[in-house]
């Protein structure tokens, strides 16, 4: 192989390599220009501020530094107070603060939380607080004294119930639902007093539970002979549809009949006398009595 042929091949290779290098350089330049950010058009100086859309700041991220942070402490304490009142209601006897704290499992809480719960219970409208110590010299420590549930009516025994009903100025009944608020043995006491004729009781038809109670005087109770009771219950009472007819047969007027629809019986042969109208008022023009004429029948 001659040297001239090799020389031609070398020059052709160099030319191809040069062309490939120039093409690769052009592609990189075009890619770089397409990836470059397009500059935004400048806003004219004469444009008004109202024409520009501004993004409103997020109001939810605004922090009001004049208000304390909501840590939930108040809600937690009031929840514990609610549990404490329910605990006192179930016990029905005076309880110390230590027993209440033990029920709430707050023995390991800081003293400030316990003191706050004690202060709220002392002023709660459903709690009675009794300070400890002799009368006139109560103990002033915050964890002393006893707490007791205050029901709607201060009644917790059969004796107190009778005394309350007898002291009423009227014969108004007492709701059993209100009695059971703070007195779990209300129904048993009511049943006992009713069996001894000391209470008048109305009951629900569904479950026969006592609904209302009134005071009763046992001396007014009368025993009715059994034979009379049996005869009384044997009397047949007409059904509601036949009752007006039976009353009419007996000469009685049923209350369900409209009085306007009752036809009065007219006795034949007896005519009602027509009442003559009386002329009232003062008579005038007496000096013309011979000239004027009266027409009383046409009035």
- Cβ within 8 Å of residue 204, ≥6 positions away: 211
Report which listed range, 39-43, 117-121, 182-186, 270-274, is most confident: 117-121
**For 278, phi and psi rounded to 5 degrees?**
-95, 140
d(CA 202, CA 254): 29
* Mean pLDDT calculated for residue range 186-195: 93
What are the angstrom distances between the C-alpha of 190 and each of 12, 71, 100, 180? 124, 49, 31, 11
pLDDT of 214 reads: 94
The C-alpha torsion from 206 through 211 and 217 to 218, rounded to 10°, is: 40
| pLDDT classification of 140: cutoffs 50, 70, 90 | confident
pLDDT of 53 reads: 57
Which of 150-164, 173-187, 277-291 has the lowest average pLDDT? 277-291
pLDDT over 80 at 28, yes or no: no
The reported pTM is 0.49
Q: Which among 162, 157, 203, 207 is positioned nearest to 182, based on CA atoms?
A: 157
Strand 199-203 versus strand 127-130 pairing type: unpaired
Which of 104-108, 116-120, 142-146, 289-293 has the lowest average pLDDT? 289-293
pLDDT of 158 reads: 93
| pLDDT classification of 70: cutoffs 50, 70, 90 | very low
d(CA 262, CA 88): 66
Q: Compute the half-sphere exposure of residue 189: CA atoms within 13 Å on the CB side of its CA.
A: 16
Strands ordered across the beta sheet of 174-175: 174-175, 210-215, 199-203
């Amino acid at each position: 192989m001659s040297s001239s042929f090799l020389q031609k091949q070398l020059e052709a290779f160099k030319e191809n390599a040069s062309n490939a290098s120039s093409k690769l350089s052009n592609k990189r330049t075009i890619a770089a220009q397409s990836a470059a950010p397009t500059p935004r058009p400048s806003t004219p100086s004469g444009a008004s501020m109202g024409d520009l859309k501004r993004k409103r700041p997020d109001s939810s991220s605004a922090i009001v530094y004049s208000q304390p942070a909501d840590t939930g402490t108040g809600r937690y304490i009031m929840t514990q107070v609610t549990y404490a009142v329910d605990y006192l209601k179930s016990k029905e006897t005076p309880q110390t603060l230590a027993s209440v704290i033990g029920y709430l499992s707050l023995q390991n809480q800081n003293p400030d939380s316990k003191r706050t719960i004690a202060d709220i219970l002392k002023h709660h409208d459903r709690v009675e607080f009794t300070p400890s110590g002799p009368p006139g010299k109560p103990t002033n420590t915050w964890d002393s004294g006893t707490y007791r549930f205050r029901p709607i009516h201060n009644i917790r025994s059969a004796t107190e119930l009778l005394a309350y009903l007898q002291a009423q100025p009227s014969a108004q009944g007492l709701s059993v639902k209100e009695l059971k608020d703070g007195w779990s043995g209300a129904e048993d006491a009511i049943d006992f007093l009713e069996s001894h004729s000391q209470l008048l009781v109305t009951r629900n038809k569904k479950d026969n539970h006592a609904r209302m109670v009134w005071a009763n005087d046992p001396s007014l109770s009368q025993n009715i002979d059994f034979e009379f009771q049996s005869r009384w219950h044997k009397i047949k009472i007409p059904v509601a549809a036949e009752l007006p007819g039976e009353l009419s047969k007996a000469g009685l007027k049923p209350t369900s009949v409209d009085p306007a629809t009752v036809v009065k019986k007219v006795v034949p042969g007896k005519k009602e006398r027509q009442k003559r109208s009386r002329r009232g008022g003062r008579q005038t023009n007496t000096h013309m009595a011979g000239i004027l004429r009266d027409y009383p029948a046409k009035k």
